[in-house]
Amino acid sequence: LDGRVVGIDNVLGGKADSGSTDRERLQVALERVLAINGGLRYSNEALAEARARCAASDDQERRAFEAAVAEWRQGTGPVTIERDPGVITRPAAGSSAH
């Protein structure tokens, strides 16, 4: 929808049809989205598939984290901390690090 907010006030000023222009704009925007998306419409199956992909990704990330923690606990290798760009880490208050 081009990042714009589209609202519809079905009853504005007491006229039941005053939101028809807004509805038409919304319908045109939705048709444009469908055209860009190859005519594919939302379905419960698509939502279930997206949730399953998300859960699988979360599970994979959790297993990788557990493996990294297990390796760290064994002391078998150096610990590498990866930070997002721009993140500044400072010692905790009261720590002896200078």
The model's pTM: 0.39
Burial 47-77 (b: 16+ CB within 10 A, else e): eeeeeeeeeeeeeeeeeeeeeeeeeeeeeee
% of residues, the chain, pLDDT over 90: 18
Q: Per-residue pLDDT tens for 50-67?
A: 899 999 999 999 999 999
Average confidence (pLDDT) over 2-24 = 63
Distance from CA of residue 65 to its chain's centroid? Answer: 21
Residue of higher predicted confidence among 6 and 29:
29
The pLDDT value recorded for residue 59 is: 95
Does the pLDDT at position 14 exceed 60?
Answer: no
Average pLDDT score over the chain = 76
Tokens of 46: 């698509």
